[in-house]
Structure formats: structure tokens, C-alpha cells
Chain A
């Protein structure tokens, strides 16, 4: 009975451990210095895995992502600061490798575009609302009823009572 309990407990623990998301960073990649390792992780999250493209190299299992993680750590050990490492990788793979695109002439539309569209829409809405308000305030009401309409309305009201 006890042995049975132990195996089922072991099975439960095993299944729980399998349910955890697989960590892409392998134990042999991790740097000894925890502070430097933390910086490496931070940088890895900024870099796009070029094979899978919508993952960072920090959570990609692609071999190239692993190579780049190792490279990031090598650069850190060599004494680069964080932006130096990013520059090193960008020099080889271009801005595309950065998950957060830089703010420069070719990306102005990307960064400012949505705000501009929102602003224009807001101005449009404001102009429309103000125009309507002014129309109401200016006593601009619906056209008066024609005699025929008046007669029809009267008839309907009489029918009602």
C-alpha cells in the first residue's frame, strides 16, 4: 500500500514537472556570476530568435537561439555593457533582431502612426460633436409640420382616446 502511494505520488510529481513550461536556457549556458546572468537574461528577452521570429532567444529552443545566448554571455564576460551587446548583435543581424524596434527615421511611422491616427480621429469626433451642439444651441430644430401632417397627427391622437 505504501509503495503504491509512493509511486502514485512520484507519478503526480513527474506529471507536474512535465506541465511546467520548458526553459530554453540550458544549465550549461548559465553564467556563474548571478548578476551577470540576470543581465544576460534581460538582454536575451530583447533579442528576436531569427528562426522562429516571434519568440525571443530567451524562450526559443532553436539551435541558433542557443548560439546567440552563448554569444550574449561571451560579450558580457568580455566586458560589454548591455547596449554594447545589443549593438554587437544588431551589427550582424540588423534592427530586425531587436524585439523593440529603435526610434529612428525609418520607424517613425511605426511609433507615431497609431497616435497620429488616434489624434486625427479625436479631432474629427470633436469637430462633429461641436457642430451638432452648435446646431442645437442655435435653435435649429426640425422643420415645422405641414398641414397634412398636422391633420394626420390630430386624427391619430383622437383615435387613441
Chain B
């Protein structure tokens, strides 16, 4: 009994050290999404391009797809752009987009330069729809299942290793 009391501080220390050690491995800049496994928010955005295809809640049902939030002024978006192009062209993944607080002419010029991987683009000029999505910085990318629920969220640019490790396997799994 006495010995137990002497060991207790050590046990307490080990437990606390373990608790904090786990905390240190997490990236504090990544905010966990509150919307995982929830249906996409109710929204309707006008089209960015003159093709008439905006983006609304009903467009995100019926197939597994990605929604990418981007802006032409966003530097990391340039990094992920080729990755999204390959996802759309080579892997046949449907990628739709929310264009966040952008000037339409800038966004169009940017897509003309780098290519357009998006099946549809909604223009969120004042950023209110993006707030409904829980966006806190561009780029962010969401994996949407066939029922229109958010299943996964990437904060920051989509990088090739994350595509291989997480996104493609998840898409294949959701497609069943």
C-alpha cells in the first residue's frame, strides 16, 4: 500500500507525458471539420463561367465526387492544380468547385492558363456559402459520397501522396 503511494506520482507523470506527447504530434493549424458525415449544406451558387453550370446542393447527389474550394489569388491552389487536373483527366474523378472571393475575370484567366479540371464551378463572391461549408482558408477539398454527404476534408493543397493514400482509396470504397 505504501509503495503504491510512492509509485503514484510516477504513474501520473507517465500518463500526463503520454497525453501531451500525443497532442504534440497533431498539427494545430488543421481544424477538424464539424461537417464530416453530414449532408452538404443547402446552397446555390451562380456559375463562374458562361456555361450556365453553377453549383447547388442538388448537384452533389448521385455520384461520388470532390468539391474543391479555390481562388486565383491563392498560391497553394497553384500547387494543387496539376494534381486536380490529373485526378479529373486520368482517374476520371468528378471535381466540382467553389470559387472563393475571386474576381471572375481573374479566375477565368487562371483556368485558361492552367487548364480547367472542374465539371462545374459556382462563384462564391462574398464567401458566405463557404462559411456554411466550414471553409477557413483556401484551398480546401471535400469528398462527397453518392448520398451527398461530406465524408472527408483536405485542408490546404491536395498533394499526390494524399491522393494515393487516402483520397483515391476512399473514392473507390464509396463507389462500392
- The chain A residues found within 8 Å of chain B, CB to CB, are 50-51, 53, 63-64, 67-68, 71, 90-97, 109, 117, 120, 124, 127
B interface majority secondary structure = loop
Chain B residue numbers with a CB within 8 Å of A71 are: 128, 131
Range of interface residues on chain B?
Answer: 20 to 34
- Contact of A120 with B8 in the complex, beta carbons under 8 Å: yes
| B8 in contact with A124 (CB, 8 Å) | yes
A97→B28 CA distance, assembly (Å): 13
What is the count of residue pairs linking A and B with beta-carbon distances less than 8 angstroms?
49
Instruction: Other than A50-B31, A67-B131, give 11 A-B pairs with Cβ distance below 8 A.
Output: A50-B137, A51-B136, A53-B28, A92-B134, A93-B31, A93-B136, A94-B31, A94-B34, A120-B8, A120-B12, A124-B8
The answer to whether B132 and A92 touch across the interface, beta carbons within 8 angstroms, is yes
CB of A72 to closest CB in B, whole Å? 11
Q: Nearest chain B CB to A31's CB is how many angstroms away?
A: 18
Task: Report how far A120 CA is from B11 CA in the complex, Å.
Answer: 12
If over half of A's interface residues share one DSSP class (helix, strand or loop), that class is named, otherwise mixed; here it is: helix
Q: Does B92 contact A (CB under 8 A)?
A: no
Which residues on B sit within 8 Å (CB–CB) of A109? 19
The answer to the question of B176 belonging to the interface, with a C-beta cut-off of 8 Å to chain A, is no
User: Top 10 closest A-B pairs, CB basis?
Assistant: A94-B34, A50-B136, A92-B134, A96-B31, A93-B134, A67-B127, A50-B31, A64-B136, A93-B34, A94-B32
- By the criterion CB–CB under 8 Å, are A117 and B16 in contact? yes
Which chain B positions have C-beta within 8 A of A92?
A: 34-35, 131-134
In the assembly, what is the distance between CA of A117 and CA of B15, in Å?
11
Q: Tell yes or no: B63 within 8 A of A by CB.
A: no
Interfacial chain A residues near B137, Cβ < 8 Å: 50-51, 64
Whether B29 sits at the interface, judged by CB under 8 Å, is yes
Contacts of B31 in A (CB 8 A): 50, 93-94, 96-97
